[in-house]
Structure 1
Amino acid sequence: MHLKEDVQSRLAWAAYFTIGTGLLAPWNALLTGIDYFAAVFPGKPMDRLFTVTYLPACLSVLLLLLRFKITFLTPQVRIVNSFIGFALIMLAIPTLDLFNLGPRPPASGDTSSAFFPAVLSATIVIGAFDGLCQGAVFADVAALPPKFTQAVVSGTACSGFLVSILRISSKALWAEEQRDTGFPGLRASTELYFLAAALLSLGCAAAYGLLLPRLHAVQQLRRGEGHVGMPAELHVMQAGPKAHTLTDPLDQQHTAAMSGKVQIGDPGPERSMSGAAGVQSGPGDEEDALLLSLQSSRSCEVEHDLERTAVPPEADQRMMLFRSCWKRLWPLCSGLLITYIITLSIFPGFLAEDVENKVLGDWYPILLISAFNTSDLVGKLLPASSQSWRKGPNDHSRFHLQRIARAWLSFAISRILFIPAFICASFVATPPFVMFLLTILLGASNGLVTAGLMLGGPEMLDPGMEDAGEGILVISLISGLLVGALAGFLWLL
C-alpha cells in the first residue's frame, strides 16, 4: 500500500483497535443482552451461566495451545477464522430463536427447550474461539511498539462500550413496540443488536487478514523485531559447536594446527635442516610431544561438553521458555488474576440481577453495565498506564521494570475494598447515584490496572518470547475471570 509511513502507522493503530473491539464483542453481546435472555429464560441466572460456560472453554484452548505446538495454526489462521466463527455464532443465536416464535418468551423458563442448551453451546463455542484468538492477537502486538498493545487493550474496553450503545439504541428504537406487543419488540431489538455484533466481527477478520498484510510499515516492524522464540540459554544449546569459543591458548593452537595453518612445535628452518640430515633433535621434541598429548586430551573434553549440551527435546524447550517468562512476569500475572477475581465477583452478576429500581425498571441493569463499560474504556485510555513504563536516564532497566510491576500489583490488591463496598450497598437501600458511582470507580480502576499490566508484558520480555509470555498473561487474566465468576455465585446465597 503506497501511503506515507505515518499514515500507515495510524491505519495499523486503528486496525488493532478495531480487532481489540471485536475480540470481546460476542462476549459483551451476550452479557449486555441480559434483558432478552432474562425474558426468554425467567428465573435463570443467565449472566452467571454464560460466564461459567464461556471461560472454561476459553482457558482450556489457551492451555492446549501453550502445551502443544500446532504448526498449522498460524497466528493469521487463528485470528481470522476466530472472527469468522464469532460472526457465525452471533448470527446463529437470533436464527435459533426463529424456531421459538410466539407472543411470549419461547422457553418460559423451561430448560428442556432446545433453545436453552443451544444458547449455552453457542457460548462454549464463542469461548473456544476467544481462546484461539486472544493469545495470538496479544502475541502479535507484543512484537510491535507499545502503542499497538494499548490499541488492542483499549479496543477490548471499547467493545463493551460499543455493545452497550448498540443495546441501548436498539432497545430504545423498539421501546414503543415493546410496550405495545411485549416480547416481539424485545426480540426485534435483539436481532438488530446481534446482527451489528456479527458485522463487527467480520470487519475485524477483514482488518487483520486483508488490511494489515498490505501495510508495509507493519511488516517492517515485525521483521525488525525478529522472532527468536526462546530464552538465551536455549540459543546456546541450539548453536551447537559454534557456540563454544575456544579461548584457551592450547585450544586455539590445536585448532589452528588441525587446519594446517600453524605447525605445533614447528622446529623452524634450522631444525628442519638438521632433521633432514638425520641429526637428533634436542629436548624441544619432548615438549612438542607433551603439547600434542595435552591438545588431544582437551579436544576430547570439548567433544564431551558438546554432547552434554545437546539440544533438549522440544517439550523441554517450551517448559524452559515458560519458566523464563514466568520469572519475569509473575507480578503482572498475579495482578491480572487478582484484578479480575475482584471485578468478576461483582460484574456483571451483581449489577445485572441483584439490584433493582422501580423507576428505571429493566433499564437499570443495562445502564449500570453501560456505566461500567464506559468507565473501563476511559481507564484503559488514560496515559498513566503507558507513561508508567517509561524509563528515565538513571533508571536501571531490570530493577526499574520490576519496581513498576510490583506497584501495579499493589494497586490491583487494593481494589479488594470494592467487595465490602458493594456488600454494604446490597444490604442498604442504596440510591441509584451511589450505585452508579461505585460502578464507575470499579470500571475505571479495572481498565487502568488492566492496561498498565498488559503494557508491561512487552517491556519485560525479550524478542521472541512474545507468544509464550503474552499467552501466560492472557491465561492469568482468564483464570481471574473464571474464579471471579464462580465467586459471583456467592451473591445468590
Structure 2
Amino acid sequence: MTIAIETETPARLEGKYKAMAVCWILGLGSLVSWNSMLTIGDYYGNLFEKYHPTRALTLVYQPFALGTIAILAYNESRIDTRLRNLAGYTIFFSSTLALLLLDLATSGKGGVGPFLGICAIVACFGVADAHVQGGMVGDLSFMCPEFMQSFLAGLAASGALTSALRLITVAAFEKYQNGLRNGVMLFLAICTFFEFLCILLYAFLFPKLPIVKYFRSKAALEGSKTVSSDLAAAGIQTKVGQAEDEGLQQQRLSVKQLFFQNIDYALDLFLIYVLTLSIFPGFLYENTGHHQLGDTWYPLVLIASYNVWDLISRYIPLVECLKLESRKGLMIAILTRFLLVPAFYFTAKYADQGWMIMLTSFLGLTNGYLTVCVLTVAPKGYKGPEQNALGNILVLCLLGGIFAGVALDWLWLIGKKQGF
C-alpha cells in the first residue's frame, strides 16, 4: 500500500486546544436548531394548542433522524465524511432560516397550514441531525477522546445556550405587544448565525489543524476511505494500492460484528435516551401543574435546569478518577436511573416546584455524564475505520432511544383531561 501523506509524530502536533474549541462549536451547531424548537415550545404551544406541539414535533423529527442514520450507518465506509457533515450543517442552516421566514410570512398565525410547514422543517432537522451527529461522532472516534468530549459538551451547550437566550428574550419582550413572538424571531436569527458559523469552521479551519491532519492521515494508513476529501482539503494527497487496500477491507470487522461486540454500549445509549426523552420536554411542559413561577416561566426554568446540568456533567469525565469506565458499572448506573420515572410522577403530583427543579437537574446531570462515559470508552482498542463505524452504530442506538422515549412520552397523557 502506497500512501503519500503527512506522518507527523504526536510530539510535533499542534492545535489540540484550538481543535477542542472548534469541536465544541460544531457540537453546539449540531443541536442548536433542534433545541431552539424545544425551547420555544411555549410559543408554539400557544399557536397550536390542539396539536400538542412539544410532543408532536418531536415525534415528527425522530423517524427522519432514525431512518437517515440507519442508512448512513450501514453505508458509512463508502460515504465521504466531509460532504456528509457539510450537507448536514447546510440543511440545519437553511431549515432554521426557513423557520424564521415561515413565521414572518404567516405573521405568527396558527392553523393547520403553518403547523404542517413547521412539521416539514422539523423533518429536515431530523435528516440533518443524522448526517452531522453520526458523521462527527464517527470522525472524532479515531482522534483524541478530548475531541469527543468537547463535541458532546457542545451538544449540551446548545441546550443551555438556547435556554439562556430564551429566558433573556422572554424577559426583554415580556411587556411589549407581540413580545413573545418578537423574542422568538430574535432567538431564531441567532441560531441561524451559529449554523452558518459551523459551515465555515468545518469547511475551512478544522481540516487544516495539524493534529486533525495527523489523526486523519493515521486513519487513512489503517484503510479508511472516508477521510480522503478532508485530507485533500488540507492539502494532503492519498494514493492507496488497490490490492493491499482490499486486504485491509477483508481484515476489518463488519458492522454486524462491531455491533455484537459492543451490544452493551449500544444498549447503554438506547436506555439513557429512552428515559430522558420520555420525560424531557413533553412531561415538563404539560404534566407538572401550575406553580408560583407561572405558566410562562416555570417550564422555561425546568428546561434551563436540565440543560445547564447536562452541560456541566459532560466535563466531569475529564477528571480521570470520576470517569466510569467499567462496562458492568455503566449498565448498573443506567438501569438504576429508571427510578426517576416514579420519582417524577410523585413529585409532579405531590411536591412543590423546588423539588421538581432539583429532580430535573439530576436528570440532566446523569444524562450528560453517562453519555460521555459511553462514547469515549467504547472506541478504544479498534483501528480508525472500525472506530468510525462504531461511532455511527452508537449514534444510531442513541437516536433509536430518543425515538422510543418520544413515543413513550405520550403515555403521560393517559387519564389527563383533554389529553388527546
The yes-or-no answer on 1:332 pairing with 2:338 is no
Q: For this pair of structures, how many residues does the alignment match? A: 387
Deviation per residue, 1:43-74 (Å, 9 max, x gap): 32111112111111011111111334685x41
Asked if 1 retains the 8 angstrom alpha-carbon contact of 2:39 and 2:300, the reply is yes
Counting only pairs closer than 5 Å after superposition, residues 251-266 of structure 1 correspond to structure 2 as: none
Alignment partner, residue 342 of structure 2: 420
Alignment partner, residue 106 of structure 1: 109
The yes-or-no answer on 1:16 pairing with 2:19 is no
Alignment partner, residue 380 of structure 2: 459
The yes-or-no answer on 1:360 pairing with 2:360 is no
The yes-or-no answer on 1:468 pairing with 2:392 is no
Counting only pairs closer than 5 Å after superposition, residues 13-52 of structure 1 correspond to structure 2 as: 13-52=20-59
Counterpart Cα distance in 2 of 1:365 and 1:317:
52
Counting only pairs closer than 5 Å after superposition, residues 141-160 of structure 1 correspond to structure 2 as: 141-160=140-159
The yes-or-no answer on 1:93 pairing with 2:92 is no
Give the counterpart letter for 1:445 in structure 2: T
Structure 1 residue 221 displacement after superposition: 2.6
**TM-score normalised by length of structure 1:** 0.74
Structure 1 residue 100 displacement after superposition: 2.2
Alignment partner, residue 411 of structure 1: 333
Distance 1:360 1:69, change over 3 A: closer
Structure 1 residue 123 displacement after superposition: 0.3
The Cα RMSD (Å) is 2.7
* Equivalent position to 2:217, from 223, 229, 242: 223
Structure 1 residue 367 displacement after superposition: 0.8
Provide the identity percentage.
27
* Equivalent position to 1:341, from 274, 279, 284: 274
Counting only pairs closer than 5 Å after superposition, residues 180-329 of structure 1 correspond to structure 2 as: 181=177, 184-225=178-219, 226-229=221-224, 321-329=254-262
Counterpart Cα distance in 2 of 1:427 and 1:453:
33
Q: Secondary structure at the match of 1:64?
A: helix
Structure 1 residue 327 displacement after superposition: 3.0
Deviation per residue, 1:194-231 (Å, 9 max, x gap): 1111111111111111111221222023213444259x
Give the counterpart letter for 2:23 in structure 1: Y
Give the counterpart letter for 2:116 in structure 1: P
Give the counterpart letter for 2:340 in structure 1: F
Structure of larger gyration radius: 1
Q: Secondary structure at the match of 2:49?
A: coil
* Equivalent position to 1:80, from 81, 86, 107: 86
Alignment partner, residue 232 of structure 2: none
Distance 1:357 1:5, change over 3 A: farther
Distance 1:459 1:344, change over 3 A: same
Deviation per residue, 1:150-199 (Å, 9 max, x gap): 1111111111001111111111111121xxx2xx2111100110111111
Asked if 2 retains the 8 angstrom alpha-carbon contact of 1:228 and 1:465, the reply is no
The yes-or-no answer on 1:351 pairing with 2:284 is yes
Structure 1 residue 452 displacement after superposition: 0.5
Structure 1 residue 464 displacement after superposition: 1.9
Structure 1 residue 356 displacement after superposition: 3.3
Deviation per residue, 1:383-430 (Å, 9 max, x gap): 36765679xxxxxxxxxx7xx1221111111100000101112322x2
The yes-or-no answer on 1:382 pairing with 2:385 is no
Alignment partner, residue 4 of structure 2: none
Give the counterpart letter for 2:396 in structure 1: I
Counterpart Cα distance in 2 of 1:136 and 1:69:
8
Distance 1:205 1:386, change over 3 A: farther
Distance 1:5 1:116, change over 3 A: farther
Alignment partner, residue 266 of structure 1: none
Counterpart Cα distance in 2 of 1:426 and 1:41:
24
- Per mean C-alpha deviation after superposition, the further-off stretch among 430-439 and 37-46 is 37-46
Asked if 1 retains the 8 angstrom alpha-carbon contact of 2:77 and 2:224, the reply is no
Q: Secondary structure at the match of 2:373?
A: helix
Structure 1 residue 377 displacement after superposition: 0.6
Asked if 2 retains the 8 angstrom alpha-carbon contact of 1:386 and 1:452, the reply is no
Counting only pairs closer than 5 Å after superposition, residues 163-174 of structure 1 correspond to structure 2 as: 163-174=162-173
Asked if 2 retains the 8 angstrom alpha-carbon contact of 1:336 and 1:453, the reply is yes
Counterpart Cα distance in 1 of 2:381 and 2:118:
40
